[in-house]
Amino acid sequence: QVFPVTSSGTPLSEFPFTRTGLLGFIGPAGLIFVAGKMDGLMLVGGRQHNADDIVATALAVEPMKFVYRGRIAVFSITVLHDERIVVVAEQRPDSTEEDSFQWMSRVLQAIDGIHQVGVYCLALVPSNTLPKTPLGGIHLSETKQLFLEGALHPCNVLMCPHTCVTNLPKPRQKQPEIGPASVMVGNLVSGKRIAQASGRDLVQIEDNDQARKFLFLSEVLQWRAQTTPDHVLYTLLNCRGTIASSLTCVQLHKRAEKIAGMLAERGHLQDGDHVALVYPPGIDLIVAFYGCLYAGCVPITVRPPHPQNISTTLPTVKMIVEVSRSVCVMTTQLVSKLLRSKEASAAVEIRSWPPIMDTDDLPKKKPPLLHKPSNPDILAYLDFSVSTTGMLAGVKMSHTATSAFCRSIKLQCELYPSREVAICLDPYCGLGFVLWCLCSVYSGHQSILIPPSELELNPSLWLSAVSQFKVRDTFCSYSVMELCTKGLGLQTDSLKARGLDLSRVRTCVVVAEERPRTALTQSFSKLFKDLGLHPRAVSTSFGCRVNLAICLQGTSGPDPTTVFVDMRALRHDRVRLVERGSPHSLPLMESGKILPGVRIIIANPETKGPMGESHLGEIWVQSGHNSSGYFTVYGDETLQSDHFNSRLSFGDTQTLWARTGYLGFLRRTELTDASGERHDALYVVGALEEAMELRGMRYHPIDIETSVIRTHKSITECAVFTWTNLLVVVVELDGSEHEALDLVPLVTNVVLEEHYLIVGVVVVVDIGVIPINSRGEKQRMHLRDGFLADQLDPIYVAYNM
């Protein structure tokens, strides 16, 4: 009951009225005209529209009988601060897809022409599937609920966000930078401390590091073989968790000698020749590496082709062998047979390979003399890696850099002969290779090697080994961590019953070349907390092509900190710290501690000027273990000098820096580091080459992907890239195919709401279509190539008009 009032607030009558919920007006001669219902009123772009009017327009479109028995629902949903019109209709059982799309496009034109309003989403469902009211009509609120939950299961969807979303924020216009003279005073940039930080000074650290007196790793190995011949350096585990093989100092030395003899005798190799080592993760790889050093050759470690997937993995092997100018390939008998097999020759012509030597049966005699390099600055090995954008980049590591690298890690992780370290990652490039092959020889500790491929058969292998060998420090990759989180999620109780204990783990480091995946590391910590894993033990490292390890959480020093930044400010290349849980907040975890001997500065990637503290810029690095340059066939000198020998445009213009190509910022914390100074934390935001420039703003794919994965339980993985100027979102569907179309409006909504972007294309694919490399990084460019070449075999592709 209501009592209507006049504009001045006085009651119209003393009698109560009842609200009908109908809209209308009183015409001439007291006739009442009903125009629609209150709950069908939609306020779009400041104008009111009536759902019944839109239903009438849609039903009047030819062919009239297209909508099954006139069953059609029109409602509005709120997306990006305004209401958007959604039309859902049941299509006739006999209509084809072509009929549907023709009808849909006619409806859009009719509604636009008559009502001057755009339809955000038009969905067709099979006949008799919309929820009914007791009287047989369409249950509107339930239909809307199903649509928003992604449970409507339409058979056709047409979205038109480009035409109806007109309230996007204006594209960003970049402002010119202020000139250097006005901002630089001493160590201040526009009133802020310059963002620079460094690890401990290598020169000043006094320790009894015996390996320091040798210039070359090959000499360190010979010295260990003489002084501690029976000390075990390496232990390799198989999928059952038992020791498959082990290697003492003297065994490694003797086997490496035989490899050197074989290279000299069979290969007739000269000093400085390049040799590709194509081995599965294991001990043979390590032996072959030191054999090359003993022979004076330059080794390149290459992942062998996958036997079940030769056609796609073999060309990469061939490309690395070619680009690295390898004069021969060393491998096991098994891989050698694989390279010469029929399937392989279909992908790569057998005669195009350099000589292939298998090292399973080594010659008895050792070489007359072990090679000693003339100069520590010459090449020790080449490190090849495929970036997430699909670029193959090889970098040169000199003997000086290799020794400095090993020493830096030894100091940061306090490694010495009585220690044991468990390593579960791929040993082909970056820090993963250094930990697998080099560190044990330099520091003398025992490395327990766990090939990540074995975890597919036995997901608990790595953690069981860590528990069984009472390991205090362990290294893994994101893919290993994900395997454990997904594969062991429900088994923690049974693992506990089997006596698995992780309470001794002091550091568990994820070796990465990206922004730390906070959600994954946190869920891993929570999951295995019951098995004694300390929540602060888990951290990440950070490296890139110009410097394979810049940060690594060591044994001493403060725990890694997490800050929350405003995602909207980040798009404008600004850092704004916010409280946890505030809207648009993004957690960023510090990427471990800066390694000894490493200096970092944050610079503007365009002007090359130094940035102030807590300002976003490119991370530049200077260190004794920087790579000495790219190894390319083409020898593009400009790129070389820009990436490896850059100078600041003002301030300290003398120092040479290497540009990492990653955006990040430094922030001085309240914590104190090992030297008693206040601790500077480095936060990595993302790679410049991966970032997408849209509407004048810089977007990192991972942020959009995180939003999309959260929208529906059936989305297991997501990857985004740009095509011309459209944003393409690829989602992997874990569910039945009739759920595929539910995802299209949900994905479009969330990207609009959280990122102010209109999705151009939504591609729904099967699980496992998005390619992921061994470090667990998405290969978005390979996916883009597959999309453009029409090779994805998608379940559904929606082009948002």
Distances from the Cα of 159 to the Cαs of 123, 156, 733, 743, 759, in angstroms? 8, 10, 20, 12, 10
Q: Report the pLDDT value the prediction gives residue 336, as an integer from 0 to 100.
A: 94
Task: List the CATH number of the domain containing 55.
Answer: 3.30.300.30
727 and 606 housed in the same domain: no
- CB burial string 114-146: b at 16+ within 10 A, e below: ebebbbbbbbbbbeeebeeeeeeebebeebbeb
Residues 750 and 771 in one domain: yes
Secondary structure (H, E, C), 749-769:
HHHHHHHCCCEEEEEEECCCC
Token digits for 200? Answer: 């401990």
Which of 671, 690, 709 is the last residue in one of the domains?
A: 690
Helix, strand, or coil here: 471? coil
Q: Do the beta carbons of residue 424 and residue 392 sit within 8 Å?
A: no
Distances (CA, A) of 190 to 178, 193, 620: 10, 9, 20
DSSP readout, 538-578? EEE-B--SS-S-SB---SSSPPPPEEEEEHHHHHTT---EE
Phi, psi of 131 (to 5 degrees): -65, 140
**Chain segment 126-135, per-residue pLDDT in tens:** 999 999 999 8
594-631 core/surface letters (b: 16 or more CB in 10 A; e: else): bbbbbbbbbbbbebbbbbbbbbbbbbbbbbbbbbbbbb
Instruction: Identify the DSSP state of 2.
Output: B
- Same domain for 501 and 612, yes or no, is yes
Q: Dihedrals φ, ψ of 4, to 5°?
A: -65, 145
DSSP 597-653: TEEEEEE-TTT--B-BTT--EEEEEEETTS---B--SS--HHHHHHHHSB--SSSS-
With 0-12 CB in 10 A as exposed, 13-18 as middle and 19+ as buried, what is 34? Answer: exposed
Are both 159 and 197 inside the same structural domain?
no
| DSSP code, position 367 | P
Q: Decide if 722 is inside a domain.
A: yes
Residues pairing with 535 in the sheet: none
User: Which runs of consecutive H residues, i.e. helices, occur in 491-535?
Assistant: 492-497, 518-527
Angstrom distance (rounded) from CA 503 to CA 525:
12
Contacts 24+ apart (CB under 8 A), 788-791: 788/723
Asked if 590 and 683 sit in the same domain, the reply is: yes
Whole-angstrom distance, CA of residue 445 vs CA of residue 453: 24
Q: Which of 690, 724, 742 is the last residue of a domain?
A: 690
Order across the sheet with 577-578: list the strands: 577-578, 562-566, 585-589
Longest dimension (CA), the chain: 119
Q: Quick one: 724 and 616 in the same domain?
A: no
* Secondary structure of 57-97 as H, E, C letters: HHHCCCCHHHEEEEEEEEEEEEECCEEEEEEEEEECCCCCH
Q: What pTM was estimated for this model as a whole? A: 0.91
718 shares a domain with 670: no
Report helix, strand or coil for 519.
helix
Rounded-to-integer distance, Cα 7 and Cα 448, Å: 84
The separation between the first and the last C-alpha atoms of the chain, rounded to the nearest angstrom, is: 47
The reported pLDDT for the residue numbered 190 is 58
Whether residues 512 and 578 share a domain: the answer is: yes
Q: What are the two backbone dihedrals, phi and then psi, of residue 326, each rounded to the nearest 5 degrees?
A: -75, 135
pLDDT number for residue 776:
81
Domain assignment present for residue 458? The answer is yes
Kindly tell me the burial class for residue 189, based on how many C-beta atoms sit within 10 Å of its own C-beta (0-12, 13-18, 19 or more): buried
Q: Which residues pair with 585 in a beta bridge?
A: 566
**Which residues of the chain are modeled with pLDDT < 50?**
179-182
The partner residues of 121 in beta bridges, in order of sequence, read: 86, 159
Contact between 189 and 220 under an 8 Å Cβ cutoff? The reply is no
Cα dihedral: 209, 215, 219, 225 (round 10) = 0
Q: How many CB atoms lie within 10 A of CB 355?
A: 13
Instruction: Dump the DSSP string for 428-450.
Output: TSHHHHIIIIIHHHHH-PEEEE-
| β pairing state of 119-125 and 156-159 | antiparallel
pLDDT for 181: 44
Is residue 87 situated within a structural domain?
Answer: yes
Same domain, 711 and 584: no
Sign of CA dihedral 93, 98, 104, 106: negative
* CA–CA distance, 27 with 313 (Å, rounded to integer): 77
> pLDDT tens for residues 688-699?
999 999 999 999
Residue 63 preceded by cis peptide, ω within 30: yes
Q: What are phi and psi of 23, to 5 degrees?
A: -105, 140
Considering the domain architecture, whether residues 724 and 674 belong to the same structural domain is answered as no
Quote the domain boundaries for residue 777: 693-799
Q: Look at residue 91 and tell me if it is in a domain.
A: yes
My answer on whether 563 and 662 are in the same domain is yes
Residue 614's pLDDT is 87
Of 104, 135, 164, the residue that ends a domain is 164
List all residues 6 or more positions away from 433 whose beta carbon is below 8 Å from its beta carbon: 301, 383, 427
**Domain match, 586 and 731 both:** no
CATH classification of the domain holding 564: 3.40.50.12780
Can you give the three-state secondary structure of 196-216, one letter per residue? EEECCCCCCCCCCCHHHHCCC
Q: Are 305 and 317 in contact (CB under 8 A)?
A: yes
How do 41-44 and 196-198 pair as beta strands? Answer: unpaired
How many domains, in total, are found in the chain? 3
**Cα–Cα distances in Å, from 687 out to 10, 282, 387, 613?**
66, 31, 10, 20
Domain annotation covers residue 306:
no
Place of tokens 């073999």: 314
Is 731 part of a structural domain of the chain? yes
One-letter amino acid of 103: W
Q: Give the CA distances from residue 455 to residues 71, 463, 521, 583, 631, in Å, rounded to whole numbers and listed in that order.
A: 53, 10, 18, 38, 33
Query: Would you state the pLDDT for residue 182?
Result: 43
- Residue 208 lies inside a defined structural domain of this protein: yes
**How far does CA 284 lie from the centroid of its chain?**
31
Residue 232 falls inside a structural domain: no
pLDDT at 724: 87
